[in-house]
Amino acid sequence: MKLLRRTAWIFAFALAGTAFAAPEFDWDAAKELHPGIKVVRKKHRQPRLMRAAVMRIDLTTPGLRFVTTGRDAEWGKPVPDHPGIKIATKRITTAEFMRYYNTRRAKDGKLMVAAFNASPWEPWVKPYTHQYGSPLGINISDGIVVSDNHPELPAFVVWKNGKAEIAGPVNRKKIGRIREAVSGFCLIAVDGRILPDEGYSKSPMPRMAYGLSRDRRYLYVIVIDGRQKKWSLGATGSETGKILLEAGAWDVINMDGGGSATLCYWDGGKKRPAVLNRHTANGYLRPVGSNVGVVLERPAAR
């Protein structure tokens, strides 16, 4: 089933000249999908063909909270086809993560209105079909540690007091204060400054990144398509960070990109997830080891 929806979005086109000659984001004119949730699409032609969708989440929205992928029932057991790694989560697509939550919580007056993939995971070896995974870095769901490895990795953290932070790396002495956490590959902007591309951030590819505004009111999530000739060729980490700074972010973390990058919202009319990016022309979605959902406890009628 093709989940890509053709809705009326705001497009900004980068013309010849500088790499990102697009006008600033006009969030006041952006379509609100759900209370506190707006999306803008962008298309750049320089430095290469690039299509992106940027979601802005107002963290002050009443009833808004985050949920992340929790421990699987087989948590702690060896991955069946890779016993050197312990099971932490079960791999599912971001759309399935959203659909499953909304099926279970419909009677509670809670609705997952947005979802996006999060941490990279292991094992990541051929044929890449492992049913289970262990997300890299610190991953916490509702205060419970799902995985804790690679302490050098940065993370998007939601503290138990409700405040959000992009931290790199997380102080392990503060784990007890964290409600939700997912880790990324690297930071690509700190205090409004773009960092040099290194390692994972160097090559143009499909990207997933999160950014927080300086006052921590807004979370920005960007997905950039890549590796698709005549559609979108992807971005480097610094290019991704520049778009998010233009959108309003101050700090930016590079999450798991490539074929994992997925950004969804809940289509209330059709009562199913709608995917804002395109991995391939046939609409394939990769099962991933870690997702983040945005939940409204008392959503307005849509």
Mapped onto helix, strand or coil, the DSSP state of residue 208 is strand
**Residue 7 has what pLDDT?**
33
Is 56 a domain residue?
A: yes
Is 128 a domain residue?
A: yes
Contacts of 28 (CB under 8 A, 6+ apart): none
The answer, yes or no, to whether residue 212 has pLDDT greater than 90, is yes
Phi-psi region of 286 (alpha: psi -120 to 50; beta: other; left: phi over 0): beta
Asked if 257 and 240 count as a contact pair (C-beta separation under 8 A), the reply is no
Task: Quick: pLDDT tens for 86-142.
Answer: 999 999 999 999 999 999 887 788 999 999 999 999 999 988 999 999 999 999 999
Contacts of 103 (CB under 8 A, 6+ apart): none
Alpha-carbon span 270 to 127, nearest angstrom: 35
Asked if 10 and 54 count as a contact pair (C-beta separation under 8 A), the reply is no
Alpha-carbon span 117 to 164, nearest angstrom: 17
> Domain of 256?
13-296
**Residue 109 has what pLDDT?**
87
The answer, yes or no, to whether residue 165 has pLDDT greater than 70, is yes
**Residue 107 has what pLDDT?**
73
Is 139 a domain residue?
A: yes
Task: Quick: pLDDT tens for 27-83.
Answer: 999 989 999 999 999 999 999 999 999 999 999 999 999 999 999 999 999 999 999
Is 301 a domain residue?
A: no
In this prediction, residues 14-35 reach a mean pLDDT of: 68
Task: Quick: pLDDT tens for 264-285.
Answer: 999 999 999 999 999 887 889 9
Strands (DSSP E) found in 62-203: 64-68, 78-79, 82-86, 89-90, 111-117, 121-122, 132-135, 138-141, 144-148, 155-159, 164-167, 178-183, 186-190, 193-194
**Residue 300 has what pLDDT?**
53
Tokens of 219: 């979370």
CB atoms closer than 10 angstroms to residue 81: 13
**Ordered alpha helix ranges (H), the chain:** 94-105, 237-247
**Residue 275 has what pLDDT?**
97
Is 4 a domain residue?
A: no
**Residue 298 has what pLDDT?**
66
The answer, yes or no, to whether residue 215 has pLDDT greater than 90, is yes
Q: How many domains does the chain have?
A: 1
Task: Quick: pLDDT tens for 219-264.
Answer: 999 999 999 999 999 999 999 999 999 999 999 999 999 999 999 9
Nearest Cα neighbor of 285 from 115, 71, 125 is: 115
Asked if 154 and 165 count as a contact pair (C-beta separation under 8 A), the reply is no
Asked if 169 and 155 count as a contact pair (C-beta separation under 8 A), the reply is yes
Its pTM stands at 0.91
Nearest Cα neighbor of 219 from 291, 166, 155 is: 166
The answer, yes or no, to whether residue 154 has pLDDT greater than 90, is yes
Is 302 a domain residue?
A: no
| CA distances in angstroms from 79 to 120, 152, 182, listed in the order given | 16, 24, 21
**Residue 278 has what pLDDT?**
94
Asked if 286 and 120 count as a contact pair (C-beta separation under 8 A), the reply is no
**Residue 282 has what pLDDT?**
81
Q: How far is CA 253 from the centre of its chain?
A: 10
Contacts of 172 (CB under 8 A, 6+ apart): 138, 148, 151
Is 1 a domain residue?
A: no
Is 121 a domain residue?
A: yes
Alpha-carbon span 14 to 171, nearest angstrom: 40
**Residue 24 has what pLDDT?**
74
The answer, yes or no, to whether residue 143 has pLDDT greater than 70, is yes
Question: Each residue of 125-143: b (16+ CB within 10 Å) or e?
Answer: eeeeebebbbbbbbbbbee
